[in-house]
Structures are given as C-alpha cells and as structure tokens.
Amino acid sequence: MKRQHWLLCVATTAMVVFAPRQFTAQQSSARIRIDPDRVIGEVNPLLFGNFTEHLGRCIYGGIFEEGSPLSDADGFRKDVLEAARGLGVTMLRWPGGNFASGYNWKDGIGPRDQRPARRDDAWGALETNRFGTDEFLRYCERLKVEPYLCINAGLGTVDDARHWVEYTNEPGNTYWAQQRRKNGRDKPWGVKYWGLGNEIDGPWQLGHKNADDYAKFALEAAKAMRRADESIQLIASGSSNFGQGADWVGWNRTVLERLRNEVDYISLHTYIGNRDNNFEKFLAVSRDIDDRIEVVKGQIKAVQVGNSRARPIAIAFDEWNVWYRTLTPGSTEFQIASTGLEENYNFEDALAMGMFLNSFIRHADIVKMANLAQLVNVIAPIFTNKQALYLQTTYFPLAEYAKQRGNHSLDVLVESPQYKPDNGRPLGYLDVSTTYDPKTRQVFVNVLNRSEKTDITARIENIAGAPSGAVTVWELNHPDLKATHTFGKDNVVRPSTRTVNVKSSGNGFEYTFPKHSLTILRF
Ligand code: AHR
C-alpha cells in the first residue's frame, strides 16, 4: 500500500472531537474505537421496513398471483412470502408511492368481481383493484409485519382519509366498520402508521401542491384522521425533489413549522445510481445521505427548540434504493412505467445496501423508520416469473443487517485512509456503523471498504476490553463488481461466514477488510 498517497481522517457521529492520530509505518492504517457507553440511540426495528406499490409486477405477479400453483388460497405467492420472511422485513408501506396520489381506497374493498377497473394515471396502467385494503392487511398479518398506509393527498380528500381510518380501525358499529365486517373482518385491523401523502412536492405527482397548500391539506387530514383514531402515528410528506432549483429545505421548513403539533415523522426519499461507472464515487453517496439526514434533523430541532412539550418528530426514510438503469432522465412517469422498474442488481449495488443501512444506524437517534423501495420485481431484492423466483445480489446484505444487530447504535471513532471521490471534500474509505446488545454484551461492527483496489487493515479497539473469544465474520465480496443473478443462478454473489481467533493486544485486535467488501464482525 502506498501509504504516503493517503490522507487520514477522523469521522465521528458525535459532538466530541477526537484528535487525529499520527500513524507510523508499523501501525494499522485505520482504527475503529468502540465505547459501549456512547449510545447514539435505539436501533428501531422499523429501519428494516419495505414497500409494495401498485406498480409494474410488484403486487400483481409479485406478492399476489391468483390461480398460480405457487399461491395459497388468498392468492399470495408462497415462495415470495418465504423470501420476504428471510429478508427480515418488519413493516410494509402501501399502496404507493406515486400510485397513492390517484388511488381511491373505496374501489378496492368488497367482493373482488364487483370492484371497478380504473385507470392508474400515476403509472399509465390499468388497476383492477383485485388487491385492496383487506388483501394488503391480511398479507401483513401473514408476514407478521407492521402495515403502513399512505393516504391520497394528491387528488384525494380529507373525507376519504378519515373514512379509511374508520374502515380499518373502528371497533364500534359505525358505517365503515360495518362495511369492514361485511367484507369478512370483524376485529379492527388496528393500522398504526399513516402517511399524509407521497412526494407531494414533486411536479410529477398527481395533485402536486406547493408547501402551503400541502400543509393546509395535511393539517386538516391529520385532525380528521385522529378524530377517527387518536392513537395513530402520522408521517408528513417531506421533500423528495432534489432537482435543480427545487427548494427542498424550504418545503421541509414549511411542513415542519405548520405540522409540528400533528406529525410524528417526516419522510425522506433517496435513489442512487452508478451512472458514470465509477465505483468509489458511487459508494461515496453515504456522505450525501448523512448530510440530508442531518439537515432534516436540524430542521426538526429548529421547530422544537425552547418548547419542553414539543411533539417528538423522527425521520421516516420511507423510500430508498439503487435505481437508475430503468430511470431515464427527462422521461415521463408513463415511459418509466413501461420498464416496470425491473432492475437487475449487481455486486456493487449489494454493497450500496450496507452503505445506506450504515447511515441509518449512525443516525438511529433520528431515523426511526426506513422502507426499501420495493419488495418484489420493482427495484427489488426478490424477482419472480410465473414459475419461480430468484434472489438478487442485494437480498443478502439486507437480510443480514436485519438479523445481526444490537439494539443500541454506538458512536464509534473511525480513522481511515481517505480519498476525494468528487475532487471535493475528503472521505474515509471505510464506512462504518456499530451496534451493541447490552443483554448479551455482543458488539456488531458493520464495515464497508469502498476502496476498489486496496485492502485496509484496521485496529479495532473496545474500551470495555478486547474480545475474549472468537470473532464471527460475515463477508460479502466478489471479484467482479458487475456480477449479477438470474433464474436458476442466484448463488453467484453470496456471503461467506467464518469464525476467526483474533490475537488481541491491549484492548484491541487487527482485522483486514478486503477491497470492495462488506463485513459484519460480531464479538
Ligand atoms: O418507488 C418508485 C417511485 O419512486 C415511487 O412511486 C415514488 O414515490 C418515487 O418517485
């Protein structure tokens, strides 16, 4: 390694500033210092949420395929259910996305054969409405995940929204509760999480509004929905429009100022892509994700400061993923729909999953919900045809992060060789998050080495003492950054696991993170 060409950095998620260490030739080139007392926040299980939209083959032909030998009596694809379980999904958002802004939930209840077929003007498709509210909520029950419904804040009304809450949650004998019972469900579904619209700041959205008009609508919707069930949690539509000239900070400011006493979350959406085929630049986007989270966190604080009774508000990162191959810049939503958004993911995209999740975990104090967009076929880790499914490369890190974690996110000190991905600010090659389980006293260190060419040896120190036993290693790596999966061939990019007996000295040990790899160390 040509150490003299590398800069060294200190990256810490806390306010405490550590003095940069001077490295000598004998020392490790990187250092990760863990202190189990430095807790950033609780890692909310809802960070492992997902999303199913009426779009392409996500619902029809994805989770739901009536008459298929692979489906159960409800029309749910059993193979997809099993794969979703393996993914460790904790929550499902529905029915959109853009689709939500033209959707009338009343079309999707009652006897299936009597439901109206409608134009889906968000995606230029035909919506049969054979999958509706009861099907979705039954699916969530089957999968044992928390449902999250997004109201139509585009072309819909406040009345539609409050009736929807009444339909799903009312225990009494009201009109909409009676309709639910007539449709086979006596007990209320008890839907807790409700989105106040989707990407309403985007000009592409049906019923797009300016921030003032949106705030006015959302405030009235929140009030009316809470009258139907005061226990619900509400997610405001934060800005998703980062295009040129878009005032995303201004949108969030207005929304937070006006809705601060009503909402529990504000949403954030981010899609990324390796458009110019530059691996290290692609995986540098964590900085942008971190920055956006921190800006919104500051905006939340700005509307709460000085008010000891301020309503707690968190960030719901309720759409995130790699999406660029089936997204042509400048195209209309209708053209986008014709691709079905069926991305075929490769190995470097799988590494990006770790990058996103590291950022969410590093911000566990404020990011309390996150939803990968989406679950099946549409920019998804699971891909079906009529006979089978295969698991995309992105499936494996998602599943592992959901499984291997403690409930405390730790503020770790990371010193790592740096690079300048965009000729701008320096960034460490190692992207790290760490969690700790105080019950079992296990530490999980998640490390993305985004150097394309160089392995990096780090000294891992734990101020509570070096690990006494073996260290368990989960590693995702592949020599071909572009390696992909397909039907019958989804074992190309697979993780390896092993235990290593590290040689501890002092309060730490050394570990080498291979170039372009994602590693989870547990000790
Ligand atoms: O997830 C695909 C689409 O991306 C969603 O419908 C929309 O909210 C976003 O623009």
Reduced 3-state DSSP string for 460-509: EEECCCCCCCCEEEEEEECCCCCCECECCECCCCCCEEEEECCCCECCEE
Residues with Cβ within 8 Å of residue 454, at least 6 apart in sequence: 1, 417, 429, 515
Smallest CA separation from ligand 1 atom 7, residue: 97
Smallest CA separation from ligand 1 atom 8, residue: 97
Query: How far apart are the CA of 241 and the centre of ligand 1, in A?
Result: 11
Ligand 1 atom closest to the CA of 123, numbered from 1: 6
For the entire predicted model, the pTM comes to 0.93
Smallest CA separation from ligand 1 atom 2, residue: 97
β-bridge mates for residue 373, sequence order: 51
Instruction: Tell me if residue 295 falls in helix, strand or coil.
Output: helix
Smallest CA separation from ligand 1 atom 1, residue: 373
Query: How far apart are the CA of 97 and the centre of ligand 1, in A?
Result: 5
Ligand 1 atom closest to the CA of 271, numbered from 1: 4
CA distance 418 to 361: 22
SS3 content of the chain, % helix, strand, coil (to 5): 25, 25, 45
CA distance 346 to 80: 20
Q: Which of 101, 319, 332 to mutate to test the pocket of ligand 1 (most atoms within 8 A of CB)?
A: 319
Ligand 1 atom closest to the CA of 240, numbered from 1: 10
CA distance 97 to 265: 17
Q: Ligand 1: residues within 6 Å at CB?
A: 53, 96-98, 198-199, 319, 373-374
Greatest extent of the chain over all pairs of C-alpha atoms, in Å: 76
**Active site residues per annotation:** 199, 319
CA distance 322 to 352: 8
Q: Which of 51, 269, 322, 342 to mutate to test the pocket of ligand 1 (most atoms within 8 A of CB)?
A: 269
Q: Which helix (H) or strand (E) holds 279?
A: helix 279-282
Query: How far apart are the CA of 116 and the centre of ligand 1, in A?
Result: 24
Query: How far apart are the CA of 342 and the centre of ligand 1, in A?
Result: 13
Query: How far apart are the CA of 397 and the centre of ligand 1, in A?
Result: 22
Ligand 1 atom closest to the CA of 341, numbered from 1: 2
Note down pLDDT in tens along the chain; length 523 residues.
Answer: 222 222 222 233 332 223 334 444 333 489 999 999 999 999 999 999 999 999 999 999 999 999 999 999 999 999 999 999 999 999 999 999 999 999 999 999 999 999 999 999 999 899 999 999 999 999 999 999 999 999 999 999 999 999 999 999 999 999 999 999 999 999 999 999 999 999 999 999 999 999 999 999 999 999 999 999 999 999 999 998 887 788 999 999 999 999 999 999 999 999 999 999 999 999 999 999 999 999 999 999 999 999 999 999 999 999 999 999 987 666 666 666 667 899 999 999 999 999 999 999 999 999 999 999 999 999 999 999 999 999 999 999 999 999 999 999 999 999 999 999 987 889 999 999 999 999 999 999 999 999 999 999 999 999 998 887 799 999 999 999 999 999 999 999 999 999 999 888 889 999 999 999 999 999 9
Query: How far apart are the CA of 92 and the centre of ligand 1, in A?
Result: 15
